[in-house]
Amino acid sequence: MTIKEAQKTVDKWITTTGVRYFNELTNTAILMEEVGEVARIMARKYGEQSFKESDKNADLGDEMADVLWILLCLANQTGVDLTEALEKNIDKKTRRDSDRHRNNEKLK
């Protein structure tokens, strides 16, 4: 599935099954909540925190998909074409950071 297809799929789901989008501010708050759930798993699986019993069945992929879902919702609501935005962002990073990272002693 392409990013454009994902935006369309989410929009179709929201307007049929989900009735309507939550407003942009609500979705931004939900995005922060979902990012926090990813952070919780990362801190426990790859960091130094131990898992609580309630965290042991956490699915990192599912939580990342929740983040992506809400990001797609926000893009749809605000008229952002994420394919175009990502392409521009990659170009920006390539122009700005290629030498910077190559010359970074910490990355060698």
Name the residue ranges covered by the structural domains of the chain: 3-81
| pLDDT attached to residue 26 | 98
Q: Per-residue pLDDT tens for 42-91?
A: 999 999 999 888 888 899 999 999 999 999 999 999 999 999 999 999 99
| pLDDT attached to residue 34 | 98
3-81 in CATH: which number?
Answer: 1.10.287.1080
Query: What is the chain's mean pLDDT, rounded?
Result: 95
| Four-CA torsion 86, 31, 11, 93, nearest 10 degrees | 0
| pLDDT attached to residue 103 | 85
| pLDDT attached to residue 56 | 80
Task: Give the CA diameter of the chain.
Answer: 52
| pLDDT attached to residue 17 | 96
Contacts of 76 (CB under 8 A, 6+ apart): 7, 10, 11, 14, 21
Burial of 99 (0-12, 13-18, 19+ CB in 10 A): exposed
What's the rounded Cα separation, in Å, for the pair 64 and 60? 6
